Amino acid sequence: MRKRGFVFILLFFAVITASAQDLNARVQILSPQVQNTNKRQLTVLEGAIRDFLNGRKWSADIVQSQERIDCSFVINITEWDGSSSFKAEAQIQSSRPVYGSTYNSTILNLSDKDFSFTYTEGQPLDYSDQLFTTNLTSLLAYYAYIITGMDYDTFAKFSGSPYYAKAQTVVNNAQNASFTGWKAFEGMRNRYWLAENLTNKAYDPVRLVLYDYHRNGLDVMFENKNKGRKQIITLLPQLQKIDKQRQGSMLGQMFFTAKADELVNIIGSASPTERMSAYNILSAADPANIGKYDLLRKQQN
């Protein structure tokens, strides 16, 4: 039974059939820039990707159907030669349920601008953790492991580590590939650096914040809203400290990308003093979302 099983504690005692799947992935392929009128291959590709993500075991635990991780892949095809070569961008998101509620909290909200690959209709999506087979399956496996690891990290401290290690293996296997996004010198915000951040102990404080934010913050709010909110507010100075020590780190900014709107909603019901304190920290640590945080400063009692 997975660590996240407490959310479904009543169902734990029921007689249920274990599912082999870990992800509940929704896949959408868009192609507004592609002129090719015969887009049947894109429909087939969409189904193949969905089956690949949802039909495999990514974690080591037995996962019940209601415990599968909700995630989505929106793949925007920017160029297609009409045959097997695709240039694309992808928006990858994942979320997890909050204890005692119907609310799902976003964990990952990431844009990959180098989601390019080759695919021929009917081609099996083969994948091995031991070697690089195709860029498409490497991309999908990489993000499946990242999504799984981040989900686990929100339920138990550092429990996502085995899955980040697997994502790092995918990166290592892709070092000789001709596709971009896998190498350290190709920018500071790519797949290489995300895996590096998640496996680098220097960024453990970010992972601990992710755990405390969900397990001791959001999950507590069902029974004690004020207690959960205060716990989340106390985490903000830690995020600011991490930002100052690791300026421009991919992992820290990913947290804010996923959580900015949620933070505003949670802190919006705090006292004026708490709101202003939170605003000062958030606007300094995450200036990209200062327009959202301005609502904390302008909000009236």
pLDDT digit string (tens) for 150-171? 999 999 999 999 999 999 999 9
> Of the candidates 257, 254, 265, 256, which has an alpha carbon nearest to the alpha carbon of residue 218?
265
84 and 226 share one domain: no
pLDDT bucket at 110, cuts 50 / 70 / 90: very high
Query: Which residues constitute the domain of residue 172?
Result: 22-121+128-199
213 and 187 share one domain: no
pLDDT at res. 282: 95
Q: Is residue 250 part of a domain?
A: yes
> Of the candidates 136, 123, 142, 275, which has an alpha carbon nearest to the alpha carbon of residue 196?
142
Q: Is residue 228 part of a domain?
A: yes
Residue ending a domain, among 174, 199, 224, is: 199
Sequence-ordered list of residues with C-beta below 8 angstroms from that of 61, at least 6 positions apart, any chain: 1, 2, 3
Number of domains in the chain: 2
Q: Is residue 292 part of a domain?
A: yes
For the ranges 11-15, 102-106, 169-173, 244-248, the lowest mean pLDDT is seen at: 11-15
pLDDT at res. 244: 78
Q: List phi, psi (to 5°) of 115.
A: -95, 60
Residue ending a domain, among 152, 170, 199, is: 199
Q: What is the residue type of 139?
A: L
What's the whole-model pTM score?
0.92
256 and 138 share one domain: no
Q: Is residue 14 part of a domain?
A: no
110 and 82 share one domain: yes
User: Hey, what are 172's tokens?
Assistant: 């290592």
Residue ending a domain, among 156, 184, 199, is: 199
Mean pLDDT of the 78-101 span: 95
pLDDT of residue 14 exceeding 50, the answer is no
Q: Is residue 12 part of a domain?
A: no
58 and 160 share one domain: yes
Q: Please classify residue 130 by burial: count the beta carbons closer than 10 Å to its beta carbon, then call 0-12 exposed, 13-18 middle and 19+ buried.
A: exposed
Q: Is residue 217 part of a domain?
A: yes
43 and 179 share one domain: yes
User: Hey, what are 48's tokens?
Assistant: 């193949």
68 and 176 share one domain: yes
Sequence-ordered list of residues with C-beta below 8 angstroms from that of 56, at least 6 positions apart, any chain: 21, 22, 127, 144
**How many other C-beta atoms are found inside a 10 Å radius of the C-beta of residue 298?**
9
Q: List phi, psi (to 5°) of 129.
A: -70, -15
> Of the candidates 101, 79, 98, 97, which has an alpha carbon nearest to the alpha carbon of residue 89?
79
E-state strands within the chain: 23-30, 69-80, 85-97, 104-112, 117-118
153 and 213 share one domain: no
